[in-house]
């Protein structure tokens, strides 16, 4: 696949068809060059209508999707290792969700409702409070994860200002991703400073991420204090910090934090009246083998930001937390038109039923073990390329090195992603030196194994 060496991925929607292997298995079917020749006119239309920033994923026009497979209209079929960017936890078009949405629409419940109450919104809020940690009393509904992060940022600063007039500084970890809106974007990456920002938020600070390469005997309290020391030298001491935002696993490579570090962070936060805000937008709702992934660390989250897998279909996000924080803002201070649309609520309730009825938390653990075993075999097959396998449950990351230089390679990750699509496994570009493996939690066991083996075939094809 053509690419450039800049931070921005090139527009892939204008590629000419490329030869592919002929594949026909129970789960995969590749019967045309890719992109399929009959879809080229529509890809060209898309490239002329959409900005380049929306045209960097593999140039496949999805025609339909069911369970854990995706099809185009030319008859090609893929095993889905994307879950539509880690969203469709219960699979594409689960019958129970389809039925719930259809039933609600047919009942006349298609109206939006702004902040008016409705039975289905109340029912979903009660359901979420019941499955959340017991200190979560209330639900602040939003539409997408970035909005939930923005809301949590506002709430955290309001909570800090209730303690003292200077307690509004926020910490996040380098290389975390929290979204695309103003505050969320500044909390992402390595600095609040962005080329397009005239005045970045000077009270957002990025501290080093505790990588897996730290020694096993690391004193995590000391590690944390060492990372906070440069801030203290600038006068930004604990009494000025209101919150730490944590991407529960760094999504680009499914990288967990060391449990000892998170516990040290929790102890420091408790000692200094600092909130820990966990971004669970990608990691919630059974994705990692827990309902919420911060449970892997056995710590309390003061606020939880959720989305994506909440519905497995329609836009819906939320902040969960205690009433004394969520009630800090007076009525109408911040709001959104489409939050908790009744149809999205219907999808969410059905989705939560599926997670429970089909035991998807335990299934994520079991199938995650299958994925882990298959990915380790892939690493053994290509030790010079696969530098690490990371993750929990069915959120896994393959970390990729250039076999010649030994350095992490974003370019090889891009090429491998496209090669995998040509071999019948749908992946999405993360523009980092990694591939994410995150199939729907309802995927068949042998489809996991077949999909990972196909990744190996794809890599062998581009290395040959």
**What is the per-residue pLDDT across 261-320, written as a single tens digit (0 to 9) for each?**
999 999 999 999 999 999 999 999 999 999 999 999 999 999 999 999 999 999 999 999
Whether pLDDT at 27 is above 70: yes
326/370 same-domain check: no
pLDDT at 211: 80
The average pLDDT across 226-231 equals 97
Distances (CA, A) of 356 to 252, 282, 350: 28, 19, 10
Same domain, residue pair 262 and 204: yes
Does 325 map to a domain? yes
Q: Is 340 helix (H, G, I), strand (E, B) or coil?
A: coil
| CATH number of the domain enclosing 369 | 3.90.1150.10
**pLDDT mean over 324-328:** 97
pLDDT of residue 213: 67
Position 1 pLDDT exceeds 60? no
Same domain for 159 and 243? yes
In terms of Cβ atoms closer than 10 Å to its own Cβ (0-12, 13-18, 19+), residue 108 is exposed
Q: Check whether residue 113 and residue 227 sit in a common domain.
A: yes
Q: Is residue 342 part of a domain?
A: yes
3-state secondary structure of 387: strand
> How far apart, in whole angstroms, are the C-alpha atoms of residue 392 and residue 369?
9
Check whether residue 351 and residue 390 sit in a common domain. Answer: no
Helix (H) or strand (E) holding 21: none
Q: Are residues 269 and 142 in the same domain?
A: yes
Q: What percent of the chain has pLDDT over 90?
A: 91
Which pLDDT band, with edges at 50, 70 and 90, does 396 fall under?
A: very high
Say yes or no: 272 and 125 in one domain.
yes
The whole-number pLDDT of residue 111 equals 80
CATH of the domain at 257: 3.40.640.10
The pLDDT score that the predictor gives to residue 462 is 96
115 and 27 co-located in one domain: no
Name the phi and psi angles at 254, rounded to 5.
Answer: 55, 45
Please provide the average confidence, as pLDDT, over all residues in the chain.
95
**Residue 320 within any structural domain of the chain:** yes
Where does the pLDDT of residue 2 fall: very low under 50, low under 70, confident under 90, or very high at 90 and above? very low
Q: The pTM is what?
A: 0.95
Same domain, 251 and 302: yes
Name the maximum alpha-carbon separation found in the chain. 66
Tell me, yes or no, whether 15 lies in a domain. Answer: no
Q: Higher model confidence: residue 66 or residue 117?
A: 66
Residues 161 and 72 in one domain: no
Q: Which of 303, 328, 357 is the last residue of a domain?
A: 357
Strand partners of residue 397: 390, 436
Tokens of 138: 């209330």
Whether the pLDDT of residue 9 is over 80: the answer is no
Residue 400 lies in a domain: yes
pLDDT recorded at residue 117: 87
- Tokens for 99? 């039925």
Q: Are residues 266 and 281 in the same domain?
A: yes
**What mean pLDDT do residues 168-188 have?**
96
- Domain endpoint, select from 301, 324, 357: 357
Are 56 and 130 part of one and the same domain? no
Residue 129 reports pLDDT greater than 80: yes
Per-residue model confidence as pLDDT tens digits over 47-66: 999 999 899 999 999 999 99
The two three-digit tokens of residue 404, written as one number: 């010649």
Q: Give the pLDDT of residue 108.
A: 85
Residue that finishes a domain, picked among 322, 357, 392: 357
Integer CA distances (angstroms), 259 to 211, 286, 297, 323, 388, in order? 12, 19, 5, 28, 19
332 in any annotated domain? yes
- In a domain, residue 2? The reply is no
Please compute Rg for the chain using Cα positions: 22
Residue 415 lies in domain: 23-90+361-463
**Token reading at 337:** 């038109």
Residue 110 confidence class, pLDDT cut points 50, 70, 90: confident
Min mean pLDDT across 123-127, 211-215, 224-228 is at 211-215
Structural domains counted in the chain:
2
Per-residue confidence (pLDDT) for residue 8, from 0 to 100? 52
Question: Does position 126 have pLDDT exceeding 60, yes or no?
Answer: yes
pLDDT tens per residue, range 441-451: 999 999 999 99
- Separation CA 62–CA 65 (nearest Å): 8
How many other CB atoms sit within 10 Å of the CB of residue 404? Answer: 9
Mean of the pLDDT values across residues 387-399? 98
What is the pairing mode between strands 303-306 and 395-400?
A: unpaired
Is the Cβ–Cβ distance between 260 and 215 less than 8 Å?
Answer: no
Question: Is position 324 within any domain?
Answer: yes
């Amino acid at each position: 696949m053509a690419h450039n060496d800049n931070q921005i991925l090139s527009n892939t929607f204008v590629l000419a068809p490329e030869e592919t292997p002929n594949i026909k298995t129970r789960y995969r079917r590749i019967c045309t060059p890719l992109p399929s020749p009959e879809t080229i006119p529509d890809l060209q239309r898309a490239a002329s209508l959409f900005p380049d920033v929306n045209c960097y994923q593999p140039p496949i026009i999805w025609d339909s999707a069911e369970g854990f497979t995706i099809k185009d209209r030319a008859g090609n079929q893929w095993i889905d290792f994307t879950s539509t960017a880690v969203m469709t936890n219960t699979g594409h078009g689960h019958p129970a969700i389809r039925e719930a949405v259809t039933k609600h629409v047919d009942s006349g419940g298609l109206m939006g409702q702004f902040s008016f109450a409705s039975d289905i919104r109340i029912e979903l809020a009660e359901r979420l409070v019941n499955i959340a940690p017991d200190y979560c009393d209330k639900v602040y509904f939003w539409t997408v994860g970035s909005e939930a992060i923005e809301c949590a940022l506002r709430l955290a600063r309001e909570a800090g200002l209730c303690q003292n007039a200077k307690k509004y500084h926020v910490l996040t970890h380098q290389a975390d991703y929290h979204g695309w809106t103003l505050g969320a974007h500044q909390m992402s990456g390595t600095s609040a400073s962005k080329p397009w920002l005239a005045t970045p938020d000077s009270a957002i600070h990025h501290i080093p991420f505790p990588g897996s390469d730290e020694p096993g005997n690391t004193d995590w309290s000391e590690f944390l204090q060492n990372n906070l020391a440069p801030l203290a030298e600038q006068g930004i001491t604990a009494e000025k910090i209101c919150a730490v935002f944590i991407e529960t696993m760094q999504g680009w490579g499914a990288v967990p934090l060391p449990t000892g570090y998170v516990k040290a962070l929790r102890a420091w936060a408790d000692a200094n009246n600092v909130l820990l805000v966990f971004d669970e937008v990608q990691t919630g709702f059974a994705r990692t083998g827990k309902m919420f992934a911060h449970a892997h660390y056995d710590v309390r989250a003061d606020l939880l930001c959720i989305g994506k897998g909440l519905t497995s279909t329609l836009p819906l996000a939320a902040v969960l937390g205690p009433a004394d924080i969520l009630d800090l803002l007076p009525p109408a201070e911040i709001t959104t038109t489409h939050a908790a649309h009744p149809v999205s609520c219907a999808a969410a309730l059905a989705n939560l039923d599926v997670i429970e009825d089909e035991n998807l938390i335990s299934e994520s653990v079991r199938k995650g073990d299958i994925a882990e075993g298959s990915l380790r075999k892939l690493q053994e097959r290509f030790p010079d390329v696969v530098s690490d396998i990371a993750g929990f449950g069915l959120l896994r990351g393959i970390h990729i090195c250039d076999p010649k230089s030994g350095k992490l390679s974003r370019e090889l990750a891009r090429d491998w992603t496209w090669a995998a699509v040509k071999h019948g496994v749908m992946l999405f570009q993360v523009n980092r030196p990694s591939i994410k493996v995150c199939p729907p939690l309802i995927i068949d066991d042998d489809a996991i194994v077949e999909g990972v083996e196909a990744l190996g075939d794809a890599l062998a094809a581009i290395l040959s």
